[in-house]
Structure 1
Amino acid sequence: MKLPPPTTRDFIGRATMILYFTICATLKAGTLVRALRYAEWTIPRIIDGIADVAALGFLVLIVATTVTRLPPLKTARGIEPRVSALIGCFATVTLIAVPRLQTPPQLQIVADLVTIVGFGLCIWCLWWLGRSFSITAQARRLVTAGPYQIVRHPLYACEAIVLLGVVLRNPTWMTIAIGATALAFQYRRLINEEKVLRAAFSEYDAYSRRTPMLIPFLSLSWRWRNAPPSPKTMQVPPR
């Protein structure tokens, strides 16, 4: 069976993503409107509302960047990168169907604050990624500024913060298992993306040597280990 050309596949993937995330954003907006209309304005409810607004902003930005994204220069081959990307991206959606556990109000506030921070950082990363955003492992444009000068994959790290907030909001064995599954496939997605970026951009090797993969506080030590020795520290061999 002959596959459709890359431009057609990209159009189908783009249209599917736009439809899916538009539906998600619409449902989230409807939930937020109903909550604002009937909710009592307590501190926990205000924090919960801010978390919903942050989630809605992230969904809207995903739709916008998908609509305007650049055509791919290179795409990962095979079925595994596509399956890993889909499971890693959409596994957390299944957390909505998990029955919610009644948790203490203090834990709910902490979970909402973690979610707000996570979504805020995701919006920052996605804003810089812009037209290079995609679900599957593809290379469109190499972004090395903003959060991408701190770590190579900041969006994955920030999505993990969001996932932590979701699990804290409903700490059951099922949510923990789904969250762990999502993280495992996100890591595979990240590895596949690394391969594509290295193949597409000759400057990616130099970028990866000076920038850590996921953990920001390793940035300075990473750069120090990978920096070339200065003339003052170079040892002169004995004559």
Structure 2
Amino acid sequence: MTIVKTETSSRRMDAGRLVMVPLCTLMLTADAIILTQSVGPGFAGVLRWISNALVGAFYVLIIWAYLRRGPAKATTTSVVARTAAVTGTLTPFVFPMLPNGTVSMSRELVADVFLVTGTVWSLWSLRTLGKNLSIIAQAREVVEHGPYRWIRHPLYTGEIVSSLGLAIAVGTVPAAAVWCTLVALQVYRASQEEQILITTLPPYTAYRARTAALLPGVF
């Protein structure tokens, strides 16, 4: 993986901010429109409304993070790594475009539990990561508090869990295939980020030695 050292000048244009702030503002607006619709029937309907509200909060935190962040100390120039990062970010949006399987209230309830749980975890991770957020592999500083005390990529873990909820909600083989693809992409993204963090931030090596990547005791 090729790494470019970045000048720490506040005047340097942040391309990620120029893309992500307008995009997340658009997504936040769409989510707000969804929230104005009536809540679905039963507990599953309430959970679905809560999950949509949490997604809106997620977009708010992304906007907040990109507006606050400073220049990176290093950035990958690998086309493969950049492509995987963007693809992994956009993959969850594939689920709503897939045809649904047989409707099942119990399956929808399980799906919403995963979706809410994963989104709450992602919100905590994103709030902790703050101005260090980046879609592509970059190095700013080592974050070791919040969920980062236990795993190095908790935001990816949350996205994997919430996307599992989306896959269960669709309930088809293509949805399962999309979810497996997402997991593979997130694992690859994590490995690419670790290369740049180890190279650029010396304290990261010790942090990496005492924490799991995505799931404590497993990986």
User: CA-to-partner distance for each residue in 1:147-168, whole Å, 9 max, x for gaps?
Assistant: 1111111111111101111111
Q: Which of 8, 25, 31 is the aligned partner of 1:28? A: 31
The residue type paired with residue 190 of structure 1 is A
For residue 9 of structure 1, report the CA deviation from its aligned partner.
Answer: 8.1
Question: d(CA) in 2 for partners of 1:9 and 1:76?
Answer: 17
CA distance in 1, matches of 2:106, 2:191: 37
Distance 1:10 1:196 in 2: 21
**What TM-score, normalized to structure 2?**
0.90
What is the distance in 1 between the residues matched to 2:156 and 2:31?
A: 22
Match of 1:229 in 2: none
The residue number in structure 1 matching 2:80 is 80
Q: State the partner residue of 2:162.
A: 162
- Alpha-carbon distance in 1 for matches of 2:218, 2:165: 23
SS in 2 for 1:71: coil
Tell me: CA distance 1:98–1:55, structure 2 relative to 1, closer, same or farther (3 Å): same
RMSD: 2.0
Distance 2:123 2:202 in 1: 28
Tell me by how many angstroms 1:101 deviates: 2.8
Q: Specify every segment of 5 or more residues in structure 1 that has no aligned partner in the other structure, as ranges.
A: 220-239
Shift of 1:29: 1.1
State, as a whole percentage, how many aligned pairs show the same letter: 29
Q: Which runs of 4+ in 1 moved over 3 A?
A: 5-10
| Aligned mate of 2:17, from 14, 17, 20 | 14
CA distance in 2, matches of 1:129, 1:23: 23
Deviation, 1:126, is 0.5
Deviations 1:115-156 (A, max 9, x none): 111000000011100000010000112101111111111111
| 1:228 aligned residue | none
Larger Rg: 1
Report if aligned partners of 2:14, 2:71 keep a CA contact under 8 Å in 1.
Answer: no
2:3 corresponds in structure 1 to none
Q: Given that residues 12 and 71 in structure 2 are in contact (C-alpha distance below 8 angstroms), is that contact kept between their aligned partners in structure 1?
A: no
Aligned length: 212
Please name the residue that 1:190 is paired with. Answer: 190
> What TM-score, normalized to structure 1?
0.83
Aligned residue identity for 1:48:
R
Query: Is the 2:51–2:115 contact (alpha carbons within 8 Å) kept by the matching residues of 1?
Result: yes
CA separation in 2, counterparts of 1:176 and 1:139? Answer: 32
Which residue matches 1:206?
206
Counterpart mapping for 1:222-237 below 5 A: none
Shift of 1:217: 4.1
Unmatched 5+ residue regions in structure 2?
A: 1-5
Deviation at 1:52, TM superposition (A): 1.1
